[in-house]
Structure 1
């Protein structure tokens, strides 16, 4: 069966922002290749202004976030939802709920509503107590007004089952393997560049950047530590100021050249992943696909993905220990290979698109069956 599917809740495709835009790119184009009609909603000021992208229809809706700040996201989602109501899609796939679930009563009545429930957004320490309370409320509304649910982490799936007694479908993010030419170039770079540690993240407290750099700062390592991420926000300025006396710590700013980022991950001595909130993190999967050796913050989200194929830390002292002791020997080589195997077999984009299609078809079938049974 070929369906008319809409994807809402992102700033749009192609991806210029983050995780949900990234997965929407792959899923929308993949569903089109499988014969479905797919529409993705974009912000009106998205850099890509064409009406189609790789066979995906693009609808641009007015987004006043650039004028009025965060409140504009609610207006943008409202505009997308109202347009989707008129289009009468078979299925509406909502990526997240932060600024859309308040409009739950306006979700298209004739469409099957599937929500990707994101991470536990209300846990993010960058939000004030009031915002965290609102996000808990928004999560509750998303559960109430959606027909079906997707979790991108087994930890999120367990949480939703315990909290709301709902059975969400576990479908993670994916990552692309290194192309052969990338691997060859990385080998050349490895012979030129000295060893270094690497961290790539948004400058937010819950990404444990301060903990990681505290540990490195107190270490006796002679290696450099490269930090990728925009340091323009308040926390970023605090971090750069705190460690400006350690010449080994090099803030590289945001790097949007994915090939360059992956080469840096591949050539690092140890890649630190400090994310502690959310589901399956795309940058973690990309590091695995880039064949980086990984040290991750110890939490259920990271452990569900990496299992025993990473080093773990919970505090600065444990980071210092890893910095001073981790070698690149057979055990570490096996960790990298095992993570690459996971990307090839578990976090493979084609497999994930297949999972999305199968779940969307099942949800649509069950919904139509229930409608027939309740209205014979």
Structure 2
């Protein structure tokens, strides 16, 4: 069965922005290779200007975010939806709902609407109370105006079932295992095999960066701690200032070279993953695929992915203990190996494309027969 599929809700492909663009890139090209006709909506500000990318049709829509700020995202999504109403897509996959679900009543009536419900965005501490309330409202609208739902985490799937009594399809993010060429992407000085701690994250409170660095700051470790991520925002400036007198902590800024990031993860002694809100986090999968030994914030999202194959922390004291006591022995090697097998068996991009293709076909058939998928 050949379907006409559109992907909305991202700034576009190829990926220059984040998680939804990353997965859209892989899913769209994967579906094209399987014979489907796929279109992805791109912001007119996206650096890629052609109308086709690796067999995927690119539809450019006006995006005023560059001068309206976040409000421009709502206008951009509206423009994408209005364009989609003029086309005859069998299935529309909406990545997220923050700025699109308010236009849900305008979704094309002749297309099956699948929404990837993202993480619990309203839990993010960076948002003010009014914004958090709006995000809860947007979540309700996404449930109301979509017929079908994707959860990238079993925790999100259970939440949607409990709160809205909807049966979403679990399809996680994906990752590719590290290649020999990627291992060679850093200099010998940068490599310092297993001689540094590492974290990579946006500078936001819910990523527990302060907890991690506070614990490390209290430790007696002589290994440096590399921090990847821009410190230009308010919280980032606060963090950089708070730990400026600890010469062991090295703020490296953002590194957009994926191969280099993966090499740094691969070479680290212990990789700290502090994310506590959202579904299956792409950077966590990348660390697993890069054969990093992982210490993760102790929460259901991370536990659902890592199970027993990671160290966990909830406080600076627990970080300090890990920094001072974790060894790289057979037990740790097995944890790394088990996580690589999870990438190959549960989180490979082929399995992710399989999931989206199968669900899209099921939703198309169900939508046209008027049945409910169980």
Per the normalisation by structure 2, the TM-score is 0.97
Q: 2 CA distance for matches of 1:187 and 1:50?
A: 36
Using the TM superposition, give the Cα deviation of residue 328 of structure 1 relative to its aligned residue in structure 2, in angstroms: 0.3
Q: 2 CA distance for matches of 1:191 and 1:93?
A: 40
CA-to-partner distance for each residue in 1:71-112, whole Å, 9 max, x for gaps? Answer: 000000000000000012111100000000000000001000
**Contact persistence 2:97–2:138 (CA under 8 A):** yes
Q: 2 CA distance for matches of 1:279 and 1:336?
A: 21
**Contact persistence 1:186–1:267 (CA under 8 A):** no
Q: CA, structure 1 residues 254+184, in 2 after alignment: closer, same or farther (shift >3 Å)?
A: closer
Q: Partner residue of 1:102? A: 102
Using the TM superposition, give the Cα deviation of residue 181 of structure 1 relative to its aligned residue in structure 2, in angstroms: 2.9
Q: Partner residue of 1:374? A: none
Q: Partner residue of 2:35? A: 35
Structure 2 residue 253 is the aligned partner of structure 1 residue 253: yes
CA-to-partner distance for each residue in 1:235-294, whole Å, 9 max, x for gaps? Answer: 100100000000000000000001100000000000000000000000000000000000
Q: Partner residue of 1:327? A: 327
Using the TM superposition, give the Cα deviation of residue 7 of structure 1 relative to its aligned residue in structure 2, in angstroms: 0.1
Give matches, 1:157-236, under 5 Å. 157-183=157-183, 192-193=192-193, 195-236=195-236
Q: 2 CA distance for matches of 1:232 and 1:184?
A: 29
CA-to-partner distance for each residue in 1:200-259, whole Å, 9 max, x for gaps? Answer: 000100000000000000000000000000111111001000000000000000000011
Q: 2 CA distance for matches of 1:357 and 1:346?
A: 16
Q: Partner residue of 2:271? A: 271
Q: Is the partner of 2:85 in helix, strand or coil?
A: helix
Q: 2 CA distance for matches of 1:284 and 1:98?
A: 23
Structure 2 residue 123 is the aligned partner of structure 1 residue 123: yes
Structure 2 residue 302 is the aligned partner of structure 1 residue 306: no
Q: 1 CA distance for matches of 2:152 and 2:337?
A: 23
Q: Partner residue of 1:21? A: 21
CA-to-partner distance for each residue in 1:122-176, whole Å, 9 max, x for gaps? Answer: 0000000000000000000000000000000000000000000000000000001
Deviation above 2 Å: which 4+ runs of structure 1?
180-194
Q: Partner residue of 1:362? A: 362
Q: 2 CA distance for matches of 1:190 and 1:236?
A: 23
Which sits farther off after the overlay, 188-197 or 279-288? 188-197
Q: CA, structure 1 residues 185+95, in 2 after alignment: closer, same or farther (shift >3 Å)?
A: closer
Using the TM superposition, give the Cα deviation of residue 368 of structure 1 relative to its aligned residue in structure 2, in angstroms: 0.9
Q: 1 CA distance for matches of 2:95 and 2:35?
A: 21
Q: 2 CA distance for matches of 1:160 and 1:245?
A: 45
Aligned-residue CA RMSD (Å): 1.4
Q: Is the partner of 2:370 in helix, strand or coil?
A: helix
Using the TM superposition, give the Cα deviation of residue 369 of structure 1 relative to its aligned residue in structure 2, in angstroms: 1.2
Q: Partner residue of 1:341? A: 341
Q: CA, structure 1 residues 192+310, in 2 after alignment: closer, same or farther (shift >3 Å)?
A: closer
Provide the aligned length of Structure 1 versus Structure 2.
Answer: 371
Q: 2 CA distance for matches of 1:182 and 1:133?
A: 43
Q: Is the partner of 1:286 in helix, strand or coil?
A: helix
Q: CA, structure 1 residues 288+77, in 2 after alignment: closer, same or farther (shift >3 Å)?
A: same
Q: 2 CA distance for matches of 1:72 and 1:321?
A: 46
Q: 2 CA distance for matches of 1:119 and 1:148?
A: 16
Q: 2 CA distance for matches of 1:202 and 1:185?
A: 23
Per the normalisation by structure 1, the TM-score is 0.97
Structure 2 residue 88 is the aligned partner of structure 1 residue 88: yes
CA-to-partner distance for each residue in 1:288-311, whole Å, 9 max, x for gaps? Answer: 000000000000000000000000
Q: 2 CA distance for matches of 1:201 and 1:186?
A: 20
CA-to-partner distance for each residue in 1:330-366, whole Å, 9 max, x for gaps? Answer: 0000000000000010001011101110000001011
Q: Partner residue of 1:65? A: 65
Q: Is the partner of 1:6 in helix, strand or coil?
A: strand
Q: 2 CA distance for matches of 1:26 and 1:213?
A: 34
**Contact persistence 1:205–1:235 (CA under 8 A):** yes
Which sits farther off after the overlay, 173-182 or 309-318? 173-182
Using the TM superposition, give the Cα deviation of residue 191 of structure 1 relative to its aligned residue in structure 2, in angstroms: 7.2
Q: 2 CA distance for matches of 1:146 and 1:191?
A: 47
Stretches of structure 1 that go unaligned for 5 or more consecutive residues are: 372-376
